Structure 1
Amino acid sequence: MEYKEMTYKDAVNLAMTEEMRKDENVILFGEDVGLYGGAFGVSVGMFEEFGPERVKDTPISEAVIAGCAAGAAVTGLRPIAEIMFMDFTTIAMDALVNQAAKMRYMFGGKAQVPMVLRTPGGSGTGAAAQHSQSLEAWFCHVPGLKVVVPGTPADAKGLLKAAIRDNNPVVFVEQKTLYKEKGEVPMDDEFVIPLGKGEIKREGSDVTVISYGRMLPRVLEAADDLKKEGISVEVVDPRTLVPLDKEMIIDSVKKTGKLILVNEACKTGGFLGEISAMVSESEAFDYLDAPIVRLAGLDVPVPYNPELEAAIVPSVDQIRQAIVDVVTNKR
């Protein structure tokens, strides 16, 4: 298979472009996704290739964007709707939660809603409290929605293609700070990563660390550092939160006997708590020889000040120290 180095955002662009070339029912719309190429440049060149009938700029109304996506999907199209910032998915909740997520159930399985709602989330860009939230756990609580949070360019491409082809509504979370990160991406236009299939990013034997999205590179950096000290860290990336690859997580915990969970979303009510509960209720609980540890964002609005913004999410040093403490039975 041929690979090419590209950024995360270019991998997202490639996935959409390939699927739009393959299926004329795939369309893209959102605020500034057309002529401007998207607020973060993710859809650059797509308006020129596919034209205004398939790449549409919308009014500044997230409720309209999500509602149009649900309606277009249930009537035969495969819309990709972009909400410019994850914070503003709150304005689109009725269309997502009460319409898109419910249609298949309310029509006895006779209706399909093959839509993708793409949205950049997370802090780290100095965008302050109203443009920096990580709200993925909200959507995980809604039966009928699938939730994807890729952490690498290759995963972004493969998972987005799977999301576009899925016949259910998918919330596809793109971490803003990862947009410029580079990685090797398969150029095969049939490279698709099944939703619900996680990946072990690094094999290890002393402790399992589960992370996704923006925190994944930090966990991998900490794991690489600790390898020099003789600590073997298994890094697990679920990639999709709903459906969750429970079997992979349980098997990893059974192997290592220790579990640390890391993300940037607020700790209270966050998805890490769901993973912790799932492990505690499974056969993996009997293999644990240390308490489960969660490292997450502080329960505060994201500050504008760069130093304060950095201080509210787990750092590489904090992740490294947590791993050492768990492995040496200090927690």
Structure 2
Amino acid sequence: MKLTEIPCPTPMHRLSVEEKDWKAFTPAEAKRVLTLLTAARRFEEAIFMLDRRGLVHGPAHSSIGQEGGAAGCIAALPREARINGSHRAHHQVIAKTVHALYEDGFDPARANRLPEEMRLQTRNMMADIMGLKDGWSGGRGGSMHLRHDPVGVMGTNAIVAGGLPIACGIAWAEKIRETGNITVTFFGDGTTHQGTTHEALNLAALMDLPVIFFLENNGYAVSMSIEQSTREQELMTRAQAQGIPSIRVDGMDPLAVNLATRWAVEEIRKKRGPVLIRADVYRYYHQSVPYPGSVFGYRTKEEEDDWRKRDPLDYLTHQLEQRGILTKAEMETIDGIVREAVDDAVAYCTEGKGSAMKIKDDLWPDPATVDDGFIGDLSEFAGVRFAEPEDFKPEEMEEMRLIDTLPRVMGKRMEQDERFFVIGEDVANMGGGTVGATKGIIDKFAGRIVNMPISENGFCGLAAGMASMGLRPVIELMYSDFFMVAGDQLFNQIGKMRHLFGGSHEVPVVLRCRVPGTEGYGSQHSMDPSGVFALFPGWRIVVPSNAFDYVGLMNSALTCNDPVLVVEHQALHKKVSMVPASLDYHIPFGKARRVASGGQVTLLATLTMVETCVEAAREMGVAADVIDLRTVSIRDLDWDTIGQSIRKTNNVAIVEQSTRGTSIGALISDEIQRRFFDHLDQPVKRVTGRWAAPTVSKVLEQAAVGNRTDVDNTLRELLAESRQRPVAA
């Protein structure tokens, strides 16, 4: 047996600073790096002081000791570059803010104070960390969720690795628009063990995205050392495995990081793809408390002392003075104007001194605004045509199968608006994807219908980043159950993004999810996701039961600036309906449709169960109001139509095919009894499947879901327990 080592074509580099690099480091460059580094240190010291006094609500993850990496990197970027980061990001965000506002010709060593806009944004950033209304996000973001688009800060993230695929989406938007801008995503060593990290690295490499993955390796994920976390301790191998070149640098040396970043920028310019920088740094304090790690026993005092001797601010100022690049007086001036801006921010947010210091009462947000902005006001629908079938002339209509409307409505909107992109697994293959949703439009929109690897959390995060840049991604999940793989990006990111960042950031993501019904796909491919999505804020949910409704609801989903889940039931794909050939109409969110009228019972139905309810009532001779809900996000339900029907019949059942545990009916039932309790003759009844998910066995699958027999039995129970006398249908 002969073994031959396979060489890896993807390089890993180590950067060392040479004497010539110091000689080439100009005073102007030195002033910029030092200003960013000093701003990061003084700002963090102020947050540290406020936290000690109990004025920072929640965790404040100190980055004192790590600032050399952020300052060195950001100073080497174009001012227009964008960044995102993790929960430990104060140093990166303040450095990026100062850098973005650092105009050509500004000389911090000869200024009396920082420019007013820098001072203002320093104040607003501090206010956001302290939860105050003048903060960038009105105080909602706090320490871990900082975003201010005008300075290129696109959102920091409390979910480890959560920001990496979002950065890919931001970078893709820049690439699509040919801006030449670079995106940097900052993360820690613990992040390298997250699956999302590998998905993001793969997407960035696969798509040649202009993104720098900046790994701040401080050696510990909370208290877990790298040695405790992984066998392969050269973390750059994660990038190498995805074909991404990388460079390792001493993060305590700001010049070294600056040079590494310049190299990375040039690599991206030449090779049109991502780069990873590993900067070895050290956080002086424990995760989010003002004590060193040695207090908790996972580090030694000797280790901490050794790293503190290499403090990046002390090191840089010493080198600049010793080499005659800057004078001590110049550096003191820079420190002075930075301190003044930070002190001004503290003074703006607080009153009193020492232990008597407190937050100014008038800076707290109004508690009444707690729900403001978690969804939009739908003003984007001004002027659109809302219509129902009866609003069209017969000659305007044609027969269409629901499945045929999918590519037609999508293609029309893509033709009208170049911001639309369809992404998902196999969407650009097989002549129309796995179900034909892109049939006939793939070639027409080449580059905008894009296959994704099997990495749902990654490409849903990609969509989040795209949406944050004003693009309008449409995600196709091959099967609905796969949303759970992408749960973080769908619920923690996309669903919360608007509200978390102050209510003003639109998130126009459409998620198409297929439910196969009783097609033998088993328990991991058969879920109706509506009930789960309804539990989380931010999402609107539509459940079209026919082709006409699909077109109208999909047009609304594609118009909406909030994230919208579109549930597509495979059993309805071949159902034929009359649809306007123009496809030019919308159905509003929150507008149900009464598909049958009667005074005995109200049946609230979705998807395949709409027709089942109509047939059951007709064949049993029951006078039923059958209402196709169409929209099922609870706040969007058509309570006027529902209430009108309940007041008439006094008896109501919610009818779904879904399993009982994930049924949305429980939420609807609760709301009905809160709103209409006095009009009910009996408790709300629910038709659902059983507790267990459907299995592959044809017999067990039919038994597991809500079906016609369940509807029949429920109608009998409703009539038996009603106080009304039975009436004819």
Same fold (TM over 0.5): yes
Corresponding position of 1:317:
709
- Give how far 1:94 is off: 0.8
**Amino acid in structure 1 at the alignment position of 2:695:** P
Residue 122 of structure 1 contacts residue 134 of structure 1 at CA under 8 Å; is this kept in 2? no
1:6 alignment counterpart: 400
Q: Give the equivalent residue in structure 1 for 2:657.
A: 264
Q: Deviations over 1:299-331 (max 9, x none)?
A: 102110111111112222331232133123389
Query: What is aligned with 1:244?
Result: 637
Say whether the 8 Å CA contact 2:659–2:706 is kept in structure 1: no
> 1:16: how far off?
0.9
Contact (CA 8 Å) 2:592, 2:627: kept in 1 or not?
yes
List gaps (5 residues or longer) in structure 2: 1-391, 724-729
Q: Does 1:117 align with 2:531?
A: no
Indicate if the aligned counterparts of 1:34 and 1:46 stay in contact, CA closer than 8 A. Answer: no
* 2:591 maps to 1:197: yes
Asked if 2 retains the 8 angstrom alpha-carbon contact of 1:62 and 1:92, the reply is yes
Tell me by how many angstroms 1:186 deviates.
Answer: 2.0
Q: Provide the residue aligned with 1:305 in structure 2.
A: 697
Cα distance in 1 for residues equivalent to 2:682 and 2:523: 35
SS at match of 2:504: coil
Provide the rounded CA distance (Å) in 2 between the counterparts of 1:16 and 1:119. Answer: 15
What SS does structure 2 have at the residue aligned with 1:185?
strand
For residue 487 of structure 2, the aligned residue among 77, 93, 96 is 93
The alignment status of 1:183 with 2:577, answered yes or no, reads yes
Within the candidate set 135, 138, 143, 2:529 is matched to 135
Residues 69 and 115 in structure 1, CA contact (< 8 A), matched pair in contact too: yes
Corresponding residue SS for 1:264: coil
Q: How much does 1:223 deviate?
A: 2.0
1:260 is displaced (CA, Å) by 1.1
Distance 2:479 2:600 in 1: 38
Matches within 5 A, 1:44-193: 44-51=439-446, 53-193=447-587
Per-residue CA shift, 1:228-247, capped at 9, x if unaligned?
A: x3x21110111111121122
Once the two structures are overlaid, the 10-residue window that deviates more, 216-225 or 89-98, is 216-225
From 674, 691, 703, the counterpart of 1:281: 674
CA contact (8 A) 1:149 1:213 kept: yes
Aligned residue for 1:297, secondary structure, equals coil
TM-score (norm: length of structure 1): 0.94
| Letter in structure 1 aligned against 2:518 | G
Question: Could you tell me how far apart the structure 1 residues matched to 2:713 and 2:485 are?
Answer: 39
- 1:171 aligned counterpart, secondary structure: strand
The answer to whether residue 686 in structure 2 is matched with residue 294 in structure 1 is yes
- Counterpart for residue 218 of structure 1: 612
CA distance in 2, matches of 1:219, 1:61: 38
In structure 1, the residue corresponding to 2:421 is in which secondary structure? strand
Cα distance in structure 2, aligned partners of 1:143 and 1:128? 29
1:123-152 C-alpha deviation (Å, 9 max, x unpaired): 311111111112211111111111111111
Aligned residue in 1 for 2:626:
235
Letter in 1 for 2:461: G
C-alpha distance in 1 between matches for 2:533 and 2:710: 28
Runs of 4+ in 1 over 6 A off after TM superposition: none
Do the aligned partners of residues 91 and 269 (structure 1) sit closer, same or farther apart at CA in structure 2, a change above 3 Å counting? closer
C-alpha deviation, 1:163, in angstroms: 0.3
**CA contact 1:72–1:78 (8 Å) conserved in 2:** yes
CA deviations on 1:204-260 (whole Å, 9 max, x unpaired) are 11100011012222112112213xx3x211101111111211221111111111101
Counterpart contact for 2:475–2:509, Cα < 8 Å: yes
CA contact (8 A) 2:539 2:563 kept: yes
Distance 1:11 1:104 in 2: 30
Q: Normalising by structure 2, report the TM-score.
A: 0.44
The structure whose residues are more often helix, as a share, is 2
Q: Deviations over 1:245-280 (max 9, x none)?
A: 122111111111110111022223521111111111
Amino acid at match of 1:241: V
* Paired AA for residue 265 in structure 1: S
8 Å contact from structure 1 (residues 122, 264) kept in 2: no
What RMSD over aligned residues (CA atoms) do the two structures have, in Å?
1.6
Q: What is the DSSP-based 3-state SS (H/G/I as helix, E as strand, rest coil) of the residue aligned with 1:101?
A: helix
Q: Could you tell me which runs of 5 or more consecutive residues in structure 1 were left unpaired when the two chains were aligned.
A: none
- Cα distance in 1 for partners of 2:596, 2:405 equals 22
Give the partner amino acid of 1:293: K
Tell me the secondary structure at the aligned position of residue 130 of structure 1.
coil
CA contact (8 A) 2:659 2:704 kept: no
Q: Percent identity?
A: 34
Aligned equivalents of 2:710 and 2:402: distance in 1? 26
Cα shift at 1:80: 0.6
Q: Is the 8 A contact 1:123 1:302 kept in 2?
A: no
Equivalent residue number for residue 255 of structure 1: 648
SS of equivalent to 2:442? helix
Quote the residue 2:9 is aligned against: none
**Aligned 8 A contact 1:220 1:235 in 2:** yes
Bigger mean CA offset, 79-88 vs 120-129: 120-129
CA spacing shift, 1:317–1:301, aligned 2, 3 Å: closer
CA distance in 1, matches of 2:703, 2:712: 16
- CA displacement at 1:110 relative to structure 2: 2.5
Q: Structure 1 or 2: larger strand share?
A: 1
1:188-209 per-position Cα deviation (integer Å, ceiling 9, x unaligned): 3321111121111111111000
AA paired with 1:9?
Answer: I
What amino acid sits opposite 2:603 in the alignment?
Answer: V
Distance 2:617 2:441 in 1: 38
Q: CA deviation at 1:99?
A: 1.0
Task: Quote how far apart the aligned CAs of 1:35 are.
Answer: 2.5
For each residue in 1:49-103, what CA deviation from the matched residue of structure 2 results, as whole angstroms up to 9, or x when unmatched?
Answer: 211x111111111112211111111101111110100111101111111111122
What's 1:206 paired with? 600
2:421 touches 2:472 (CA, 8 Å); kept in 1? yes
